[in-house]
């Protein structure tokens, strides 16, 4: 399994390089890497495993973050309404179009490869169209698709595709955004009896 030791940090040259296109059909190694990356995300979102292995929770991971400079990423995230879970294992993803309108996460972004607290927000496209191969870890099938994403999940995918292009969110920080609507998250009801 992957742990925080496997994740390279800001300052490592791999994080600034454009990752290489993955050759198809996928090699055994590349399939294994995609599965390991998804396993890390799942472990990091599991409270017990997260504590046991001192993982930082993440909703996505790009291969360059584990020092593999290839165009692969995984995402596992709920939308901002907490209604739909988006699970993607992408190979050679590309944003082929995007909205003119922008959005951002008001509380800012974070990154498993950035250990410091940073101030500011990251302007992102409100909607994106992504062309990619999608890997199914159960059947090991790889399918080329074009998907449209918006809102929070769209931001996560933009953050991961940035990693593939050698860009960290800290390079995109601005102090504030005028005339741009932030993502509206549905407030999660915290039941006091559960605390």
CB of 194 to ligand SB7, least distance (A): 25
Does the protein bind ligand SB7 through residue 149 (CB under 6 A)? no
Site string for ligand SB7, 8-47 (x = CB under 6 A): ----------------------------------------
Does the protein bind ligand SB7 through residue 112 (CB under 6 A)? yes
Residue 21 among the catalytic residues: no
CA angle centred on 154, ends 92 and 37, rounded to 5°: 50
Which residue of the set 21, 140, 141, 160 is catalytic? Answer: 160
Site for Ni ion in 87-146 (CB under 5 A): 111
φ, ψ (nearest 5 deg) of residue 191: -85, 120
Task: Give the Cα separation of 134 and 130 in Å (integer).
Answer: 11
Does the protein bind ligand SB7 through residue 59 (CB under 6 A)? yes
Select from ligand SB7, Ni ion, none the partner in contact with residue 130, using the beta carbon and a kind-dependent cut-off of 5 to 8 Å: none
Select from ligand SB7, Ni ion, none the partner in contact with residue 79, using the beta carbon and a kind-dependent cut-off of 5 to 8 Å: none
Length of the chain, in residues: 195
Does the protein bind ligand SB7 through residue 121 (CB under 6 A)? no
Question: Three-state SS string across 181-192, please?
Answer: CECCCCCCCCCH
Select from Ni ion, ligand SB7, none the partner in contact with residue 151, using the beta carbon and a kind-dependent cut-off of 5 to 8 Å: none
For the chain, list the strands marked E by DSSP: 60-62, 72-78, 85-98, 102-103, 124-125, 127-135, 142-150
Contact 43, 54 (CB under 8 A): no
H helices of 9-150, where?
28-44, 47-52
CB of 80 to Ni ion, least distance (A): 19
Which of residues 64, 70, 98, 109 is near ligand SB7 by CB under 6 A?
109
* Residue 46, helix vs strand vs coil: coil
Contact 165, 128 (CB under 8 A): no
Give contact residues for ligand SB7 (rule: CB under 6 A). Answer: 58-62, 65, 105, 109-113, 155-156, 159-160, 163
Give contact residues for Ni ion (rule: CB under 5 A). Answer: 111
For the annotated catalytic residues, the residue numbers are 160
């Amino acid at each position: 399994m992957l742990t925080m030791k496997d994740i390279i940090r800001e300052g490592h040259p791999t994080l600034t390089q454009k990752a290489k296109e993955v050759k198809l059909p996928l090699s055994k190694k590349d399939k294994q890497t995609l599965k390991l990356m998804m396993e890390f995300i799942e472990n990091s979102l599991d409270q017990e495993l997260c504590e046991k292995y001192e993982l930082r929770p993440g909703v996505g991971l790009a291969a360059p973050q584990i020092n593999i400079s290839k165009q692969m990423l995984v995402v596992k995230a709920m939308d901002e309404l907490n209604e739909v879970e988006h699970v993607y294992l992408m190979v050679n993803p590309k944003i082929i179009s995007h909205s003119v309108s922008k959005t951002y996460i008001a509380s800012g972004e974070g990154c498993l490869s950035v250990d410091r607290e940073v101030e500011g927000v990251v302007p992102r496209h409100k909607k994106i169209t992504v062309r990619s191969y999608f890997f199914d870890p159960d059947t090991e099938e790889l399918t080329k698709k074009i998907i449209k994403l918006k809102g929070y999940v769209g931001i996560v995918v933009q953050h991961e595709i940035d990693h593939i292009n050698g860009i960290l969110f800290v390079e995109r920080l601005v102090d504030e955004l005028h005339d741009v609507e932030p993502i509206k998250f549905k407030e999660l009801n915290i039941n006091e009896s559960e605390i």
